[in-house]
């Protein structure tokens, strides 16, 4: 990983953590909490790959608050990789970026209940 990307990541993590501390005064904004009160957090950049984020969540115990740190704010997702995908799960390639995934999810009127991470994804036109 280059110094520039690491620097951007460090800045994003600091910005997100400071914002979460300020928001905490207005109540808990993190949807995922363990029984012991710990809220696992995975801060990601829009350019991070979905497969890498899935791995980080798995390493954090399988369920985490995934925070996509964007230029002017952030988005918090509850991410659970312990639950099997539903029949109508959205198929997402592991090399898709988080920005692509977020935009795809936001464009769907029916919302996203689950996704299925795939290593190869073929589209037929």
Predicted confidence (pLDDT) per residue in 30-67, tens digit? 888 999 989 999 999 999 999 999 999 999 999 999 99
Q: Could you tell me if 72 and 23 are in contact, meaning their C-beta atoms sit under 8 angstroms apart? A: no
Instruction: Find, among 89, 13, 8, the residue nearest to 47 by Cα.
Output: 8
C-alpha to C-alpha distances, 22 to 15, 28, 29, 91, nearest whole angstrom = 11, 11, 11, 36
Confidence of residue 108 (pLDDT cuts 50, 70, 90): confident
Which is it for strands 73-80 and 63-70: parallel, antiparallel or unpaired? Answer: antiparallel
**Residue 45 structure tokens:** 């950049």
Task: Return the SS3 of 48.
Answer: coil
Which is it for strands 41-44 and 63-70: parallel, antiparallel or unpaired? Answer: parallel
Q: What is the pLDDT of residue 122?
A: 44
Q: What predicted TM-score, i.e. pTM, was given to this entire model?
A: 0.81
- In which residue are the tokens 């997702």 written? 77
**Residue 108 structure tokens:** 């769907």
pLDDT in tens, 72-87: 889 898 898 888 777 7
* Section 24-34 average pLDDT: 85
- In which residue are the tokens 């990541």 written? 9
């Amino acid at each position: 990983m280059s110094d520039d990307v690491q620097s951007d990541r460090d800045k994003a993590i600091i910005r997100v953590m400071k914002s979460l501390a300020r928001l905490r005064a207005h109540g808990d904004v993190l949807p995922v909490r363990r029984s012991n009160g710990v809220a696992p957090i995975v801060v990601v950049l829009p350019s991070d790959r979905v497969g890498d984020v899935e791995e980080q969540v798995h390493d954090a115990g399988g369920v985490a608050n995934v925070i996509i740190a964007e230029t002017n704010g952030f988005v918090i997702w509850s991410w659970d990789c312990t639950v099997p995908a539903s029949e109508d799960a959205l198929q997402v390639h592991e090399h898709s970026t988080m920005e692509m995934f977020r935009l795809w999810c936001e464009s769907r009127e029916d919302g996203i209940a689950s996704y299925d991470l795939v290593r190869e994804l073929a589209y037929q036109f």
